[in-house]
Structure 1
């Protein structure tokens, strides 16, 4: 997700506190808001230190309107981000605890997505634990089992016997009769 996609997504869900938001959506939104706040704040300081009351009031109003405009979507994206980590949106208020609350909230916001939960499907598209990665490695079997060794799984066809001139593969039983007819 790019910066512009994240801004469009957050503004498209302006006051939507349900669902989930990926880390990239939250952090790109935060970056975009900060990139707007910094020049607006600089203009406000210029108006204040220029001894121009009219200029300070105008820049102060622009800053205030922008701050009010991004307040609701900023809270909404934090709540959706908390939902993505499997936590209730009420955990947002943990940030009000002096000294450590903001650090705890930051820890919750940097965590990876959880699998499908009560707030909706994983926005990464995968359902395995570990942030969208499959539960077992590609081509690996679970808990050290060997493919084709022992009894076939229920409902599966047994592996074909080895053909002439072919050595039994890993995990296959040697044929009960010699393929040479002896």
Structure 2
């Protein structure tokens, strides 16, 4: 079997936005880099120009697009979930520390920790943030990576069309 792959041209701005908005709730399938990056550009600009709330809402709406982009390179959507868990862990840690410090401050009982406690809390947040930065860099690499040229477990390639080489002899 002599298969050749033919590349479909990159999606332009309008085509990418039409495609991503038509599949806003679709977690299955695959998404090309052009669909992902044009859509994210609009989300980032809207979040900057309008308000952070609009940016947040639009970012939530792009979660299925991130899943499809991960699927295009053969990765599970759980890669997005790992980042969500990291960020949720950081938020829970902040809430816990604020509550604990509020209680300690109200009772004037610092348990004799003083500077050591402050150093431990700061170190914890440095580690959390380093983990999140490492995750975001990995995701940036994934989002920039060319998709699998052949069909993978998530579907056919949105970029490449397979040609069997015209060999219809059945041999």
Q: TM-score, normalised by structure 1?
A: 0.53
Q: Post-superposition shift, 1:68?
A: 5.0
Asked if 1:2 is matched to 2:2, the reply is: no
Q: Which residue number in structure 2 is paired with residue 123 of structure 1?
A: 158
How far 1:7 moved relative to its partner?
1.6
- Runs (5+) with no aligned partner, structure 2: 1-10, 87-130
Q: Aligned runs of 1:17-36 on 2, under 5 Å?
A: 17-36=27-46
Report the Cα distance in structure 2 between the residues aligned to 1:76 and 1:89, rounded to whole angstroms. Answer: 9
- Normalized per residue, the structure richer in strand is 2
Aligned mates of 2:75, 2:43 — CA distance in 1: 24
- 1:71 CA drift (Å): 3.2
Between Structure 1 and Structure 2, whose CA radius of gyration is higher? 1
Equivalent residues, number:
110
Equivalence for 1:89? 77
Calculate the aligned-residue CA RMSD, in Å.
2.5
Distance apart, 1:11 and its partner CA: 1.3
CA 1:71/1:99 → structure 2, altered by over 3 Å: closer, same or farther? closer
Deviation at 1:15, TM superposition (A): 1.1
Q: 1:86 to 1:127 in 2, by over 3 A?
A: farther
Contact 1:94–1:105 under 8 Å retained in 2: no
**Residue 12 of structure 1 is aligned with which of 18, 22, 26?**
22
TM score, norm. by length of structure 2: 0.57
Q: Distance in 1 between matches of 2:156 and 2:145?
A: 17
Q: Distance in 1 between matches of 2:45 and 2:59?
A: 15
The CA distance in 1 between the partners of 2:43 and 2:138, in whole Å, is 22
| 5+ residue gaps, structure 1 | 42-62, 129-133, 139-153, 156-182
Choose between structure 1 and 2: higher helix proportion. 2
After TM superposition, where is structure 1 displaced by more than 4 Å over at least 4 residues in a row? none
Q: Match for 1:40 among 32, 50, 59?
A: 50
Query: In the alignment, is the contact (CA less than 8 A) between 1:94 and 1:102 conserved in 2?
Result: no
